[in-house]
Amino acid sequence: MAHILLVEDDEASAIVTSLNLKRRAGYEVTVTRDPAEVLEACENREVDLVLMDVSLHGAKLEGKPIDGTGISRRLKENPKTSSIPIILITAHAMRSDQERLLNESQADAYVAKPISDHAKLIALIEEHLSQRAQR
């Protein structure tokens, strides 16, 4: 069973997404909004994939504000964590936002919020888990 780390600052979104991933796909899901916890879990290889909210209002790392793109970039630049797939989840849904955010974050994929099609999200997760397993 794959372990998904859901990094989300909106409690309602976290609950809905987490329940759907658990019930529909049987994933183990951990929810956090703490950047240090994200980095530690990934460095300790406790997760198979990260769903990363872009905004993360009020999040700080080492006393400095950081958002999901910054956390994602740190994960992708670290050789210990660079192979973990990261899917951004964000309300910034314009095509230019998607390209910019993927470039800035070095994430693997992007999903617009609100997530209305959880089957599509699960298919995207499965695709990235499968690609990781083939490496």
Report, as ranges of residue numbers, the positions in the chain whose pLDDT lies below 50.
Answer: none
Instruction: Look up the domain containing 30 and give its range.
Output: 3-134
Q: Give the CATH number for residue 109.
A: 3.40.50.2300
Q: Which of 104, 97, 96, 118 is nearest to 51 (CA)?
A: 118
Type of residue found at 130: S
What is the spatial distance between Cα 47 and Cα 41, in angstroms, rounded to a whole number? 7
Give the neighbor-by-neighbor strand order of the sheet with 3-7: 28-32, 3-7, 49-53, 86-90, 109-112
Non-local (6+) Cβ contacts of 114 within 8 A are 13, 91
What is the spatial distance between Cα 42 and Cα 56, in angstroms, rounded to a whole number? 18
Dihedral angle over CA of 81, 85, 89, 90, nearest 10: 60
95: left (phi over 0), alpha (psi -120 to 50) or beta: alpha
What are the distances in angstroms from CA 27 to CA 16, 18, 45, 119, 124?
A: 14, 9, 16, 13, 14
Number of folded domains that form the chain: 1
Global confidence as pTM: 0.94
